[in-house]
Structure 1
Amino acid sequence: MNGFVRVPGEVVKGNSLGSFYWNADLINFEGPLLSLFKNDEDEDFLFVWLDCNNTKNRWCMVAVDRDQLKGYLGSVLPLRNIMADSSELIVFSVSRAGRRSAFIRTDFSHLPEEYRPEKDSFLTDDIATNAAVALREDSPQDYYLGLDGDLYIDDIQRIPQLYKQLYSFHYGLEHLKRSAVRHKLGRLMGSWGGGFSAVNIFTGLRNVIPSIHRARLQELRYNSPGHIKLNLLPRMAKSIEKSSDIIVDEVKFQEMESFYRSVYRFFDQNRISGFEKESGSISEKLTADTKEALSVFVDTFFELMDWKGFRQQFDSIESNPLRQLRVLLAYYRRLRELRSYVIKGKLDIGKSKLDRS
């Protein structure tokens, strides 16, 4: 016997549940007691510590939607209510080596009383981690992308896609102090070899952006003019606005284009593939002089984009300047594509094209 209280339910295979990615610990006392995870389908889950014996810890995973997570982080919704309202709970064990096993699908009515949170199980300030407080304080607001002019269905698809990728990048850049974000970017950039594409940097960050911080579509209206109404973190939106303003300015744009061309001349001269894929052997064979020159390019990019405050943190997650530079150039190509919509009057970042807004 494992010494755990019996939990009635259906035994399930762990691989049938998909993968889960750690996002943040919300309660910690000599180890995590409540953590936020995300799965492959971009859904948030709370992992709730239940019990332990000499060899394993027992946990319960429960899906949590955007409003529930916001309510819990804001100390207005108790954990007990979230678990009670869930259609299913997954109880499982974790070994000292981190291996999960003994998965049981159940519900709150079958969960033993000793495993149920108290009725007043709010996330109060005295038990919340710094990460939980940071998640709570980053509050989303409504935001507009104004639309106008001759747009096609491809444009209506492409504009939000570009904006989502830029938003993900800025989220990663401005949340590097969060362990999950820093580790995720480090893994993505560190494994960028053998054909790994830069697009994975943008899409991969979704695993560490909880639902309360994602850009959620509120409204889409287009009858020339119109808008896309989003609910997102205003700080990220302002960062994208600032970057857009820089390259919408013709003088600064030409400066960025000149820099971009000089980087690719350097790539050609040194037989370095410049776009979003690379062979891992290229990075390994860089000479000290080449690495130094690439580092100067990275510094220059941060200066041109006025991101100097993030330079040191960015450097800490990936020491290979070629991979760093490729990520930055991939970001710039997306920003430049968004610029074309702005200068043609088809997109107004931060404003609705409708008079009523």
Structure 2
Amino acid sequence: MQEIVGYPLDNFSLNLRDIVDLIYFEGPLLTLFENEYGDSYLYYWCDVDEQCNRWLVFRVTRKTLRFYVTQKLSLRELIVNPVDGFLYSIELDDELQCQRCCLIQPPNLPPKYIPAVDSYYDFSKLDPEETEAKGLLLEKIWDEKHELSDLLTKLFDKPPLEMIDEPSLA
């Protein structure tokens, strides 16, 4: 694994629950998590060795998550400009136990860990069978009905029935 320059922590104390895998290829690469207060965090897979997988973990606001999913912000922009000004680097073993954790400033990230400039989100990276996952994601980041309707139309190639204006018989 690449060498990390950061502030070592004794443990990873955030209590997060898995919401949805945003990018999945032979395993999760980018996953949305949430804490008990409803704050959103992204886990971004960045490295591996014989013992552990390394993830960058960082908080995102509802607005930045929405901008990422609607391709107004790239994953690169989220990582180099984290909401809190830092990221966690955590190394998880096969049993998902944290073996190493540190706080890292974006300028200290190895270049290999920084996504491409054009790393905009593509909904096709979600498993098409995971409609429940898509629903959870949409519920998490959209408040306004018209935005949700537009996105659902894009995702499923047709608007949901309850959002179609039925013609009046009068």
String of CA shifts for 1:56-97, please: whole Å, max 9, x gaps: 111000111111111111122100101111101000111111
Write out per-residue CA displacement over residues 282-328 of structure 1, whole angstroms, 9 at most, x where no aligned residue. Answer: xxxxxxxxxxxxxxxxxxxxxxxxxxxxxxxxxxxxxxxxxxxxxxx
Residue in structure 1 matching 2:101, options 98, 103, 106: 103
**Residue 116 of structure 1 corresponds to which residue in structure 2?**
114
Helix, strand or coil at the partner of 1:81: helix
- Taking a change above 3 Å as real, the CA distance of residues 60 and 70 of structure 1, as seen in their structure-2 partners, is same
> Residues 198-209 of structure 1 correspond to what in structure 2 (within 5 A)?
none
CA displacement 1:105-142 (0-9 Å, x = unmatched): 0121000001111111111244344489x6xxxxxxxx
Q: List per-residue Cα deviations over 1:125-163 (Å, max 9, x = no partner).
A: 44344489x6xxxxxxxxxxxxxxxxxxxxxxxxxxxxx
Amino acid at match of 1:212: I
Q: Does the 8 Å contact 1:38/1:210 carry over to 2?
A: no
In the alignment, structure 1 residue 55 sits paired with structure 2 residue 51: yes
User: Is 2:9 the counterpart of 1:12?
Assistant: yes
Per-residue deviation, 1:101: 2.6
What's the TM-score, normalizing by structure 1? 0.37
Deviation at 1:179, TM superposition (A): 9.8
Aligned to 2:37: 41
Aligned pairs, number:
144
1:56 and 1:96 in contact (8 A); partners too: yes
Contact 1:13–1:103 under 8 Å retained in 2: yes
- 1:1-357 to 2 correspondence within 5 Å? 4-15=1-12, 17-86=13-82, 87-130=85-128, 177-178=132-133, 211-213=140-142, 231=143
Please tell me the residue identity of whatever aligns with 1:7.
I
- Distance in 1 (CA, whole Å) between partners of 2:98 and 2:44 is 14
Unaligned runs of 5+ in 1: 135-176, 182-207, 214-230, 235-357
Measured after TM superposition, the shift of residue 180 of structure 1 is: 10
Higher-strand-fraction structure: 2
Residue of structure 2 equivalent to 1:170:
none
C-alpha distance in 2 between matches for 1:212 and 1:11: 32
The 1:180–1:37 alpha-carbon spacing in structure 2 relative to 1, beyond 3 Å, is farther
Runs (4+) off by over 2 Å: 124-132, 177-181, 208-211, 231-234
Q: CA distance change for structure 1 residues 107 and 130 in 2, over 3 Å: closer, same or farther?
A: farther
Contact 1:45–1:63 at 8 Å: present in 2 too? Answer: yes
Q: Which residue of 1 aligns with 2:157?
A: none
Fraction of identical pairs, as percent: 24
RMSD: 2.6
Q: Secondary structure at the match of 1:7?
A: coil
TM-score when scaled to structure 2?
Answer: 0.74
Alignment CA distance shift 1:128-1:119 (3 Å):
farther
- SS of the residue aligned with 1:14? coil
Question: Is the 1:79–1:121 Cα contact (8 Å) retained in structure 2?
Answer: yes
Higher normalized helix content (fraction of residues): 1
Q: Which has the larger radius of gyration?
A: 1
Higher RCO (CA 8 Å, separation ≥ 6 residues): 2
Q: Which amino acid aligns with 1:107?
A: Q
